[in-house]
Structure 1
Amino acid sequence: MGATINLLVMASMPIAKVLLLAAIGSFLGLDHVNILGEDARHHLNKVVFYVFNPALVTSTLAKTITFESFLTLWFMPVNIFITYLLGSILGWVLIKITKAPRHLKGLIIGACSAGNLGKLPLIIVPAMCREKGSPFGDVDVCQSYGLAYASLSMALGNFYMWLYTYNIIRIFSRDVIDDANHPEVGDESFGNNTEFLLKPTEYSLMTPNNKIPMSSKFQQLLSQFSGKINLKPLFSPSTIGVLVGFMIGLIPPLRKLLIGNDAPLHVIQDSAYMLGDATIPTITLILGANLLLGLKGSQIQFRIVIGIVATRYILLPLLGILIIRGAIRGGILKCDPLFQFILLLQYAVPPAMNISTMTELFGNGQSEYSVILLWTYGLAAVALTLWSTIFLWLVAS
């Protein structure tokens, strides 16, 4: 009983720190304070996106990644892919159960599949390393590797988010606009009205019996898909930071040149670390300020919000435990407690904050997602504490 209480206290401390900083951010975002108003958050987000995040990712990966450790990290992109796959399936089931309006379908799938895979682990894991009785060993080693794992999680999460979530929301948002311009299409998702999607010149591909050859159908579907998918956002600063960090860590001459107190150019690494240290407090303050938007309310059905909460805080963590424990027992994954904890945590985090940026970009679902963020992050204090306690018990056992 005493050990369980210790684990609960250990798990709750990092969450309490997040809540404290988020509360300060919410205070700074109030209208009568207006230090973190809309314009300030917009510019500060740019600094985080273009400067702080890449600096943190590059510096931590460059210092901790070696060829040996690189071979143990292959499961993380697989694990994140599984979280997106399961979240998308559960999100689609939620859409069918709640009969959600069409303009929210992409938003629901995105909220269920794309978790906060970088920012919260970056806050939670180093804080747990400093707690007394941590199962992750030496504090300095734990913090160093914990930041590297969390930074890689953040970069991979960004990659999946801009490849998949961005385009899901983009496709459904564009379909809503297309329907407004062509009301005769109906309320089905894209691709069901193939003839409507054909360009006039493509009607020559149709055979006399009004059927399109299979090869032509494939070409048309491929063209439609490539036309709807935008790959440019994949090349984000954090993704570039991952590539640079891996290059420095895995190429011995670069590593000797930049890493360590005796390295000739260690000042570059030290400067990157200084910038990276600003990431965690800054993103937490912004998170708190953004949560105020949800207080204004929206027309979203409350059962949709409940479904997203249940998906992210009940179904996905349970499935994550089965997958990770199964991978360990099957010999696919080594039993490194810290790495295992990061993988489990990826199933229990709230929806990604970057989705709100996507809704603003496409002008669809801003107020609805603000409400989703308010409830999911408000309940994260309880959910993350409980699941972190369970995960700590699992990795320590």
Structure 2
Amino acid sequence: MAFQELFLVALIPVLKTLLISVVGLLLAIPRFNILGDAARHHFNNVVFYVFIPALVGSSLADTVTASTLVSLWFMPVNILLTFVIGSGLGWVLVKITRTPEQLHGLVMGSCAAGNLGNLLLIIIPAVCEESNSPFGDKLACSANGQGLVSLSMAIGSVYIWTYVYNIIRAYGNLSGRDITKASTISIDCSGKTLDMFMENYTEALMRSRRSSFEDCEAPDDDYAEVHEHNIVHEDDQHENVTVLTRIKVHVDAFSDKINLKMWMTPSTIATIVGLLVGVISPIRKLMIGDDAPLRVIDSSAGLLGEATVPAMTLIVGANLYNGLKKSGVGVWLIVGILVVRYVALPIVGIGVVKAAHRVGFVGSDSLYQFVLLIQYSLPPAMAIGTITQLFEVGESECSVIMLWTYGVAAIALTLWSTLFMWLVS
């Protein structure tokens, strides 16, 4: 493909994203006030509970089978590496730039999570449709590319709503009001700390022991020996209960800290359902295909899923209104995020994918290698804007980061795509 053609292929999806963001910005200004604070909050819940699960589940069910899962086992590992390495580089960046603590999670999340679904859904089919594409037959390339992108989007969604979600939550310094809002997406925030729990438990236990001894008369010697034995036995039981209670409290505190319930988000459940439908042949025949008896379920889910990309992009654009008025994001922080996403991560990705190919983890499929490589060079995931909106922390700053990263992506993504195609050809 000529450089000009490739440039247009990569530029068009990014321009679409920017144009829809502008629409969201216009809807948020006071003159229209269609996407105000309350509207964005409820809109986020619709995206979280309905649109994202529908998109992930329907895409996986349509394109992923048992054979594809076996051959694509390295993709979850590759995506996890992009998240871990990106968040590590983001942590270094916030220390160097002395970013405010409440924005640490946003910066680390922006460096970690790439747009593994929306852009790839447009870029990969567009590349396959080119007459001189390096990936062979158009129809076969489009079908295989759809499966690769669907799996990438599903895995990325799981990582975002577990790994990145908890990073932003940990640094968000949630107030009571934020916790109340966040509880609408099944977050268990009891507000009881470990010290308070242990203090109340110990005080109640000692009070119970004192009352039981004060109410008793002095026993005779024989009875005293038996009673003393029983007390020792009861003390042992209390000690065992105390140890078990302490263990349980520590487990509960750890679970609350990392929010294990977010491992079973709607998108995660949709991923499991979509994989089951796609992999189990009898269920697949019932729901997938033009002659499937229950095809209306799959088509309805796909129809809902189509609203995900524009809805999330509108929210990011609406958040941009506050960011343009006042933002805590400095110039050097923006430059640092751009360097991480468009310089450091792609270079690391080339080394990882080439090493995996050399040891036989990836295989010789050039399209598969291209998707693995491009996962390292994408702008931040739109879902980060949804998470910041849910917790009301860094919404405007997130929009400014999105504006710059997607603007630069028009050039950076094109250049890296050209290099990646040359490497896998």
Regarding TM over 0.5, the answer is yes
CA deviation vs aligned residue, 1:57-90 (integer Å, no higher than 9, x gap): 2222222222211102211110111011111221
Deviates more, 1:331-340 or 1:81-90: 331-340
**Structure 1: distance between partners of 2:16 and 2:73:** 31
Which amino acid is the alignment partner of residue 107 of structure 1?
L
Q: Percent identity?
A: 52
Structure 1 residue corresponding to 2:303, chosen from 274, 292, 302: 274
SS of aligned partner of 1:115: coil
Once the two structures are superposed, the pairs formed by residues 300-339 of structure 1 within 5 Å of their partners are: 300-339=329-368
Is this contact kept in 2: 1:102–1:176, CA < 8 A?
no
Amino acid at match of 1:159: V
Q: CA deviation at 1:313?
A: 1.2
Could you tell me the TM-score, scaled by structure 1's length? 0.79
Query: Aligned ranges for residues 113-124 of structure 1 at < 5 Å?
Result: 113-124=112-123
Closer/same/farther in 2, CA of residues 106 and 28 from structure 1, 3 Å limit: closer
Structure 1 range deviating more: 151-160 or 283-292: 283-292
Native 8 Å contact 2:18 2:406 kept in 1: no
Q: Is 1:56 the equivalent of 2:55? A: yes
Residue identity in the other structure for 1:115: G
Matches within 5 A, 1:210-249: 224-249=253-278
Show CA shifts across 1:112-166 (max 9, x none): 1122222222233233333443333444443343333223222222221222222
Contact 1:15–1:385 (Cα < 8 Å) also in 2: no
2:378–2:413 CA contact under 8 A, matched in 1 = yes
For residue 344 of structure 1, what is the aligned residue in structure 2?
373
1:185 corresponds in structure 2 to: none
Q: Is the 8 A contact 1:305 1:372 kept in 2?
A: yes
Give the structure 1 partner of residue 76 of structure 2.
77
Aligned partner of 1:254 in structure 2 is 283
2:420 aligns with one of 388, 391, 394: 391
Separation in structure 1 between the aligned mates of residue 25 and residue 12 of structure 2, nearest angstrom: 20
Of 127-136 and 30-39, deviating more is 30-39
Give the C-alpha shift of residue 227 in structure 1. Answer: 3.3
Give aligned pairs, total. 367
1:168 alignment counterpart: 167
Measured in 2, the distance between the counterparts of 1:257 and 1:365 equals 45
Q: CA deviation at 1:198?
A: 10
Q: 1:366 to 1:385 in 2, by over 3 A?
A: same
Residues of 2 paired with 1:286 and 1:108: CA distance? 19
Q: Contact 1:103–1:176 at 8 Å: present in 2 too?
A: no
CA contact (8 A) 2:313 2:382 kept: no
Q: CA deviation at 1:91?
A: 1.4
- Give the C-alpha shift of residue 266 in structure 1: 2.5
1:36 shift after superposition? 5.0
Change (3 A) 1:122 1:283: farther
Structure 2 contact 58–301 (Cα < 8 Å) conserved: yes
Q: Distance in 2 between matches of 1:128 and 1:41?
A: 34
**Corresponding residue for residue 368 of structure 1:** 397
Q: Which amino acid aligns with 2:87?
A: S
Larger deviation, residues 15-24 vs 156-165 = 15-24
Give me the whole-angstrom Cα distance separating, in 1, the residues matched to 2:201 and 2:334. 42
Q: Could you say which residue in structure 2 is the equivalent of 1:93?
A: 92
Unaligned runs of 5+ in 1: 178-194, 205-216
How far 1:44 sits from its partner (Å)? 4.4
Is the 2:312–2:383 contact (alpha carbons within 8 Å) kept by the matching residues of 1? no
In structure 1, how many angstroms separate the alpha carbons of the residues matched to 2:329 and 2:296?
51
Write the deviation string for residues 340-386 of structure 1: whole angstroms up to 9, x where unpaired.
22222221122233333333444433333232222222222222222
Are the counterparts in 2 of residues 7 and 392 from structure 1 also a CA contact under 8 Å?
no
Q: Distance in 2 between matches of 1:309 and 1:197?
A: 44
Question: 1:200, CA displacement in angstroms?
Answer: 4.8
**Distance (Å, rounded) in 2 between the aligned partners of 1:110 and 1:172:** 11
Q: What CA RMSD, in Å, does the superposition of the two structures yield over aligned residues?
A: 3.4
For the 8 Å contact 1:18–1:123, the answer to whether it is kept is: no
Does the 8 Å CA contact 1:106/1:173 hold for their aligned counterparts? yes
Higher Cα Rg: structure 1 or 2?
2
**1:15–1:124 Cα contact (<8 Å) kept:** no
- Comparing 321-330 with 38-47, greater Cα deviation is found at 38-47
Q: Kindly state the Cα deviation for residue 196 of structure 1 after the two structures are TM-superposed.
A: 8.9
Distance 1:138 1:270, change over 3 A: farther
Amino acid at match of 1:232: K
Match of 2:408 among 376, 379, 387: 379
Q: C-alpha displacement at 1:286, in angstroms?
A: 4.3
Q: CA separation in 2, counterparts of 1:21 and 1:131? A: 26
Q: Which consecutive residues of structure 2, in runs of 5 or more, have no partner in the other structure?
A: 177-193, 204-245
